[in-house]
Amino acid sequence: MHKKFQKLCLVLLVLTTFFSLNMNVSAGRFSKVPPVSIKLKRPALSVKEGQTVKCIAHVVPQNATRKKIKYRSLNMKVAKISSKGLITGIKPGKAVIVCSVKGAASVKTRCTVIVSPKKSEITFEKYVQNLFAGESNKITPYKNGKIMAADRVTFVSSAPATVSVDSAGNIKALQSGTAVITASSVKNPSSASCTIRVSNRSAQGKSSTVFVGASRTKGKEQILDDHTKNIQFITKSGARLPWFQNTAFVELKKFLDKDPGRTAVICMGVNDMQDIEGYIALCRELMNQYPQTRIYITTITPVDSTFTYHTDAQIRTFNRKLKAAFGTSVINTYRYLNKTGFETIDGIHYERSTCAKELDYILDAIGK
């Protein structure tokens, strides 16, 4: 009888343990993980009047049950925001965007948005033109997106013996060299300049340059005139070291295998800062493999104060390591833009005029 009772107790103990474990597993499976906070990629943003920028946010922890974020502007007259986090600048000023977790309103954070005025400025479709001596072209200035009437703008050439320009913006390349054409509004002090580079036809194909880089390098490509044949670009927005290593440098080597006498310009960007040692090794390998090729590396260029993902101190540290590794092969575009000024559209990507200025500086530095 005693043994039967012991067996019964043992069976009950096993069954109790089994059901207890199953209840705990089920409870764990359906338990809710509360949101703790919201993390912003950039707690301060800048946008121009009429333009759009995205507020990137995510809930912490990542496995929180509630993950949907609600956005609300505290100053709709300055900036509005969509349900997907797209901020549109309405008029100059400052607005605060409140980001909160849907269903957990107490979990929230704030993003500051500065809206700057849309400039009434003169712009060009292309800021750099490459012509052969004897060729002609036309410069068309725009103001607020509209072509300026001929009687409302004046044109001046910095080197009339190299490139002439008439009152209608018609230019003629007279001899090899570089000229800057400045278009100025008759009624107000706004003006803009574009660069005309003139070469002799006999030099065609002998001074090709290949630029490699991410989205800010793509900005340089977009300001060149369409018939520029002696400058090529290998670019990808958001590119990091694996793309440079497995795609860009593979493509670049195809260019250099055909013509090792080309010039290569490797443009560093803010996506690259965590991989400085990898980039140094990659560029050294390229230089050793193509000793005949003139290979230059540009520093990371500056960002404005609203871009908080990387700091200016981090950029300077990266650039110092780059300079220490490659010396005179480094083109200090960071120092040049800080000295002469720059304008961005979102804190990191440059206005077309700044892209043109930087490209001019690089081409001058490499003697093109």
On whether both 69 and 131 belong to a single domain, the answer is no
- Confirm whether 18 is domain-assigned: no
Long-range contacts of 336-339 (CB under 8 A, 24+ apart): 336/361, 337/301, 337/302, 338/302
On whether both 344 and 358 belong to a single domain, the answer is yes
| Residue 326 Cα to chain centre, angstroms | 24
User: In angstroms, rounded to a whole number, what is the distance separating the alpha carbons of residues 168 and 156?
Assistant: 11
- Tell me the CB-side half-sphere exposure of residue 94, using CA atoms within 13 A: 5
On whether both 353 and 287 belong to a single domain, the answer is yes
Among the candidates 169, 199, 229, a domain finishes at 199
Identify the CA nearest to 42 among candidates 288, 296, 311.
Answer: 311
On whether both 353 and 243 belong to a single domain, the answer is yes
Query: What is the secondary structure of 137-152 as a DSSP string?
Result: EE--EEETTEEPPGGG
57 vs 41, 47, 108, 237, 256, CA distance in Å?
Answer: 6, 17, 11, 21, 43
On whether both 211 and 274 belong to a single domain, the answer is yes
On whether both 105 and 150 belong to a single domain, the answer is no
pLDDT for res 20:
53
| Residue 105 Cα to chain centre, angstroms | 34
> Which value, to the nearest 10 degrees, does the dihedral of the CA atoms of residues 288, 289, 295, 298 take?
-70
Among the candidates 70, 101, 116, a domain finishes at 116
Task: Report the DSSP pairing between strands 37-40 and 57-60.
Answer: antiparallel
User: In angstroms, rounded to a whole number, what is the distance separating the alpha carbons of residues 215 and 213?
Assistant: 7
Question: Mind listing the pLDDT tens digit for each residue in 219-237?
Answer: 898 887 655 668 899 999 8
pLDDT for res 282:
95
Question: Which residues pair with residue 96 across a beta bridge?
Answer: 112
On whether both 227 and 193 belong to a single domain, the answer is no
- What is the Cα Rg of the chain in Å? 29
- 3-class SS of residue 6: helix
211-214-219 Cα angle (round to 5): 75
b (16+ CB within 10 A) / e for 211-241: bbbbbbbbbbbebbbeeeebbbbbbbeebeb
pLDDT for res 367:
80
Write the CATH number for 174. 2.60.40.1080
How many CB atoms are closer than 10 A to CB 26?
10
User: What's the DSSP call for residue 344?
Assistant: B
User: In angstroms, rounded to a whole number, what is the distance separating the alpha carbons of residues 288 and 282?
Assistant: 10
Low-confidence ranges of the chain (pLDDT < 70): 1-30, 119-120, 201-207, 225-229, 306-308, 368
Write the CATH number for 288. 3.40.50.1110
pLDDT for res 122:
84
On whether both 218 and 352 belong to a single domain, the answer is yes
- Confirm whether 144 is domain-assigned: yes
Domain interval for residue 94:
37-116
Among the candidates 199, 215, 240, a domain finishes at 199
Q: What is the pTM of this model?
A: 0.61
Q: How many domains does the chain have?
A: 3
290-323-356 Cα angle (round to 5): 80
On whether both 184 and 48 belong to a single domain, the answer is no
User: In angstroms, rounded to a whole number, what is the distance separating the alpha carbons of residues 234 and 220?
Assistant: 11
pLDDT for res 24:
47
